[in-house]
């Protein structure tokens, strides 16, 4: 399915671009798109909106990238992939911009107005402005079908990734119970999401969608990304992270990433998070304000994804042995005994790479484990599996 769903939108975008460029007014739309308005660079809202859009489009902190990467071969070049994903994403966005603004230029030409008058932000651009422009084209049903089929395919494509993230998280947490029931779990999950999606297709569904878009895709994403970055850079440690990557791809990434992970990236994310909090006023749509209960519901919706982080921290601290909280926290900053590659050969290499440091792993209760002892236990386990 993915072999069709991934390239199909590019084909439709190319067809729509060719058609759009043949329309009167398309050049004005393209000019509006590519000619910079330098004074806007002094507006912090522009930078904040751009950063939020990158977070949303690349999929950082949603879990999809990490989930899909977890299915790769251990020695897959993740460093190369981490470069390709944002490049392809931004390239696609630029390409799609030509498609959109060529048709919006035609719409402005037809209406006898300027392009900035017909441009709308958010879902209005996709579901109102562009379809309205397509409806004015010759053979409009053909272009309308292609456009919405493309949107449907992109939505389905994205949903595959998000849904796989949910399914994998449940199966990884309860492997013995759920691994053999994957199809049933997927069916139940699809049905539940189907029911949750029904309010979005009612006559007032756009207002429900606006609440989700307003509160779920901004401040919570930033906070999750910030925590992930701080944990890897400051608790797990960039040096250990470098060695893990080197074990996987055969060489260390450039030294600049050490400073990016520890200082630049957290500072940038924190700045964006502050921007999103400061500028995130009460939700509105089409100039209409929402009632208080809807705003409260939106904040609750946005906080749901953050609650498990402090909750699991508290549970882990309670379950770890130690006389004081500080002692327990120190034990929890050491990787667990079962941390590392899943394949036997890769895990053996991983444990060997840590053998220079006596205590680099810990038991589930937080007590330290000697790497030589862990390697011996691992080999004994392999021998037992082979003999059985």
Lowest-confidence pick of 84-88, 108-112, 366-370: 366-370
Task: Please name the residue ranges forming H helices in 59-135.
Answer: 64-70, 78-111, 115-118, 123-124, 130-134
Exposed / middle / buried, residue 263 (Cβ in 10 Å: 0-12, 13-18, 19+)? exposed
Written as one string, the DSSP assignment of 324-349 is SHHHHHHHHTSPBTT-S-SSHHHHHH
385 is in an annotated binding site: no
CA separation for the pair 62, 156 (Å, rounded): 16
Instruction: Check: CB of residue 301 under 8 Å from CB of residue 211.
Output: yes
CA atoms within 13 A on the CB side of 295: 11
Q: How confident is the model at residue 369 (pLDDT cuts 50, 70, 90)?
A: low
* CA dihedral of 369, 370, 376, 379, whole degrees rounded to 10: 50
89 is in an annotated binding site: yes
Question: In this predicted model, what pLDDT tens digit does every residue of 299-330 receive, in sequence order?
Answer: 888 888 889 999 999 999 999 888 889 999 98
Question: In this predicted model, what pLDDT tens digit does every residue of 284-294 receive, in sequence order?
Answer: 887 888 999 99
Indicate the pairing of strand 368-370 with strand 359-362.
antiparallel
Start-to-end CA span in the chain (Å): 39
Query: Quick one: tokens of 345?
Result: 């050969």
Structure confidence at residue 359 (pLDDT): 43
User: Helices 8-21 & 140-173, crossing angle to 10 degrees?
Assistant: 150
Q: How confident is the model at residue 358 (pLDDT cuts 50, 70, 90)?
A: very low
Whether the predicted pLDDT of 351 surpasses 70: yes
Q: How confident is the model at residue 382 (pLDDT cuts 50, 70, 90)?
A: low
Q: Is 112 left (phi over 0), alpha (psi -120 to 50) or beta?
A: left
Mean pLDDT taken over the chain: 84
pLDDT, mean of residues 49-67 = 82
pLDDT, mean of residues 250-275 = 90
Task: Please name the residue ranges forming H helices in 217-324.
Answer: 219-230, 238-249, 256-259, 265-279, 292-303, 308-319
CA separation for the pair 344, 243 (Å, rounded): 18
Cα 318–324–328 angle (5° rounding)?
55
Share of the chain above pLDDT 90, in %: 26
218 is in an annotated binding site: no
289 is in an annotated binding site: no
CA separation for the pair 45, 351 (Å, rounded): 48
- Residues contacting 205, CB < 8 A, separation 6+: 199
Partner residues linked to 289 by β-bridges:
284
Exposed / middle / buried, residue 307 (Cβ in 10 Å: 0-12, 13-18, 19+)? exposed
pTM greater than the 0.95 cutoff: no
Lowest-confidence pick of 2-16, 134-148, 331-345, 368-382: 368-382
């Amino acid at each position: 399915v993915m072999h069709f769903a991934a390239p199909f939108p590019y084909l439709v975008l190319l067809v729509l671009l060719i058609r759009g460029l043949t329309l009167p007014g398309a050049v004005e739309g393209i000019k509006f798109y590519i000619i910079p308005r330098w004074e806007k660079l002094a507006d912090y809202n522009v930078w904040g909106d751009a950063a939020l859009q990158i977070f949303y489009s690349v999929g950082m902190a949603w879990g999809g990238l990490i989930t899909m990467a977890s299915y790769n071969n251990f020695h897959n070049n993740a460093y190369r992939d981490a470069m390709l994903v944002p490049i392809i994403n931004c390239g696609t966005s630029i390409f799609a911009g030509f498609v959109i603004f060529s048709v919006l230029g035609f719409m402005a030409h037809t209406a006898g107005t300027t392009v900035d008058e017909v441009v709308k932000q958010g879902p209005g651009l996709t579901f109102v402005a562009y379809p309205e422009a397509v409806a004015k084209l010759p053979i409009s049903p053909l272009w309308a079908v292609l456009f919405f089929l493309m949107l449907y395919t992109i939505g389905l494509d994205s949903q595959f990734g998000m849904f796989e993230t949910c399914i994998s998280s449940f199966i990884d947490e309860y492997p013995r119970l759920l691994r053999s029931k994957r199809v049933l779990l997927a069916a139940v999950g699809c049905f539940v999401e189907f029911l949750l999606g029904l309010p979005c297709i009612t006559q007032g569904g756009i207002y429900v969608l606006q609440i989700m878009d307003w509160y779920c895709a901004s401040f919570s994403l930033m906070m999750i990304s910030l925590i992930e970055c701080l944990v890897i850079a400051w608790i797990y440690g960039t040096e250990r992270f470098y060695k893990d990557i080197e074990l996987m791809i055969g060489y260390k990434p450039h030294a600049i990433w050490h400073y990016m992970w520890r200082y630049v990236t957290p500072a940038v994310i924190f700045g964006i998070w502050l921007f999103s909090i400061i500028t995130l006023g009460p939700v509105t749509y089409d100039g209409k304000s929402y009632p208080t209960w809807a705003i409260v519901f939106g904040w609750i919706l946005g906080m749901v994804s953050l609650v498990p982080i402090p909750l699991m921290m508290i549970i882990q601290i309670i379950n770890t042995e130690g006389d004081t909280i500080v002692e327990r926290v120190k034990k929890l900053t050491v990787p667990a005994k079962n941390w590392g590659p899943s394949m036997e050969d890769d895990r053996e290499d991983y444990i060997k790479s840590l053998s220079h440091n006596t205590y680099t792993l810990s038991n589930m209760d937080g007590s330290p484990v000697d790497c030589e002892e862990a390697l011996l236990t691992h080999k004994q386990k392999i021998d037992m599996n082979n003999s059985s």
